[in-house]
Chains A and B, each alone.
Chain A
Amino acid sequence: MILKKIIINSFEALVENKLRSMLTMLGMIIGVSAVILLVSVGTGAKRYITNEFESLGTNMILLQPGRTDKDSRMGPPVSSSKGKFLLSDVEALKRYATSLSAVSGVMFGAGTVKNELGTNNINILGSNEEFVKIFNMIIIQGTYITKEDDDSGKRVVVLGYNVKKNLFADGTALGKLVKINDSEHRVIGIIKPTGDKMGFNVDDMVFIPTKSALRLFNTDRLFGIRAAAKSRNGLDDAVKDITAILKERHNGEEDFTIITQVTMLESMNTILNMLTYALGAIALISMLVGGIGIMNIMLVSVTERTKEIGIRRAVGARRSDILKQFIIEAVVISVSGGLIGILISEIIAYTLHYFFPGFDMRPPFWIIPPAFFLSFFTGLGFGVWPARKAAHIQTIDALRYE
């Protein structure tokens, strides 16, 4: 019998056994949907995180005191007693590191900010006037900290959007006084609602001059230094510049760690790719279960249709015709299930995207052909054994089968 006819017959057999076909397909539908959705979650997460990083500007360079061996797995670089950054380090970089477009020391700590209307627990960040360039922050009212503010350690503050809302509601904040850890600061600017950046919610932070922050926390050690290279291509030069300048200042010792966005993105991508593959591999297990489901049903179907096989053989079907018939039925079930699964996962993903546009987990288009072929080959692979069994049933026995 010609292939086209067998395929048509297989579809007819599917329709004749609607309930059983649907139940069999269910395994494949879930399997394919799981593969697509989990891979989408992986690629979505990757896209989301990459975007977050990119929005910070890819020229950014992070300097942390203390040495973290890149090969060790000791966790992120944190301040250690070994090295320390002082304001003079920032000054030196400003003056000599020509490949940098901006440098700022940062001081970081938790605290409270209050006025007569209320108290807020916030993160306080000390920085100089160039910080705003490094982190691409936008000031919607007033100004950011100026060079003059920083040089003289003025008690001025730039508020994150939520902090402003909480303390002043819709009223004017500029020029008003707020108490940061009981020290009065004058509000000079408001930052545009930004959300999370580098793991901190900018909207819930306040920004004060570096010197003011050092005074507030009573220390001379900076939390770290943030810088921006003049261009993305200049990153390597910038890293070399910084290393040379700081090494000289730190008695020839490289007691600090330099992290660029490029290296961060690379390691992030590696992790996220692994995550995507791992999710895909987990989903493959459900494909396997779906395939076994098809094999089970096909085996039952072969037994149930023993007489049909006998009749077909008697009127002239060759073994290969029976083999083809049952393999194609298995493939038709799995491919139909696969197509429904693709459709369902797309619907789910796009629905989720509609309700949560922030996290874009729409499936990448490249996933559709592999998902389709996966269901195709699952049907083929798990259909072979039942089909071979069917093809090798003895015609006389099959005709007598009740």
Chain B
Amino acid sequence: MMGDEEIHALNDVSIKINEGEFTSIVGASGSGKSTMMNIIGLLDLPTAGIYTLDGINTTEMSDDDLSHYRNQKIGFVFQSFHLLPKSSALKNVEMPMQYASAYNKALTDEGIRQMALDTLDKVGLSSRVHHLPNELSGGQRQRVAIARALVNNPKILLADEPTGALDSKTSEEILTLFEDLNKQGVTVIIVTHDQNIAKRCKRILRMSDGLIQEDKI
């Protein structure tokens, strides 16, 4: 259970995101939404205050523990996909599990492969697992990235402008996928400046100047 997730961030702001929520963080560039995302994603530490994820205060964690937490609790989806260009879709999806295998000896090569294939199937890419990223369309690449984010069963799916590089039709497909995943219980946080995407979310955190200006459910 994610239970009480409190985020004290930026200009003395305090928010709490519960498990299973479908939240968007919106704001213009410079509003602090990227910093917010980096802190939520454990890529950056707040200079003051605390961030509690899944009941654990993360601000005093070691770098290794933060890596482990990112690996286990957070799945990232980026605007420009951030896939390894020379690795196939399957290898990209396997990567987080390979890092997880350092902690979990039960993860065998075969197990990792099977889980990666299952996850790719879940995002509708079972027919293109051996393709390199540059052999896939933008939408397909983002699906690979989503599969990679999901493969370790994270608590949070953290998406930074996930449709920014996609056309409207593909964007719609990706958003539908997020909605489906949310229905299956995944907590989704989308960081965007696009109001239309924000409207699809159940909760909107509107930011500017490092403050939460509006918290609309």
> Which A residues are within 8 Å of any B CB, using their own CB?
1-2, 5, 13, 16, 307-308, 310-321, 395-396, 399
Query: In the complex the two chains form, is B41's CB within 8 Å of A1's CB?
Result: no
Q: For the complex, is B1 an interface residue (Cβ under 8 Å from A)?
A: no
Q: Given A1-B98, A2-B101, A399-B78, A315 and B148 touching (CB < 8 A)?
A: yes
Tell me if B86 counts as interface (CB < 8 A to partner A).
yes
Q: Are A316 and B96 in contact (CB under 8 A)?
A: yes
Chain B stretch 58-77: residues in CB contact (< 8 A) with chain A: 63-64, 67-68, 70-72, 76
Residues of B within 8 A of A399 (CB): 43, 78, 82
Tell me if B41 and A316 are in contact (CB < 8 A).
Answer: no
List 15 contacting pairs A-B, 8 Å CB cutoff, sorted by A.
A1-B98, A1-B101, A5-B98, A314-B41, A314-B43, A316-B71, A317-B67, A317-B99, A318-B68, A318-B102, A319-B64, A319-B67, A321-B67, A321-B102, A399-B43
Evaluate contact between B43 and A396: CB separation under 8 angstroms: yes
Across-interface contacts of B136 in A (CB, < 8 A): none
Instruction: Report chain B residues within 8 Å CB of A16.
Output: 86
Q: Are A316's CB and B43's CB within 8 A? A: no
Min CB gap A260→B, angstroms: 67
Which residues of chain B have C-beta atoms less than 8 A from A320's C-beta? 64
Number of A-B contacts (CB under 8 A): 65
Collect the chain B residues with CB atoms within 8 Å of residue A311's CB.
82-84
Complex Cα spacing A140 to B71, Å: 86
- Contact, CB under 8 Å: B64 / A315: no
Report B-chain residues with C-beta under 8 Å of the C-beta of A313: 67, 70
Interface residues of B (CB under 8 A from A): 38, 41, 43-44, 63-64, 67-68, 70-72, 76, 78, 82-84, 86, 95-96, 98-102, 109, 148, 152
Report the bound CA distance from A313 to B96 in whole Å: 10
Q: Which residue of B lies closest to A307 (CB)?
A: B82
B112 to chain A, nearest CB (A): 9
Chain A proximity of B75: nearest CB distance (Å):
8
A142 to B44, CA, bound (A): 99
Known: A307-B82, A311-B82. A395 touches B98 (CB 8 A): no
Q: How far is the CA of A318 from the CA of B42 in the complex (A)?
A: 13
B86 & A315 in contact (Cβ 8 Å cutoff): no
Q: What CA separation (Å) do A190 and B98 show in the bound complex?
A: 80
B158, closest chain A residue (CB) = A314
CB distance from A321 to the nearest CB of B (A): 6
A321 partner residues in chain B, CB cutoff 8 A: 67, 99, 102
Q: Across the two chains, which residue of chain A brings its CB closest to B78?
A: A399
Q: Which residues of B are found within 8 Å of A396, using beta-carbon distances? A: 38, 43-44
Partner of A318 from the list B64, B72, B86, B95 (CB cut-off 8 Å) is B64
What CA separation (Å) do A310 and B44 show in the bound complex? Answer: 13
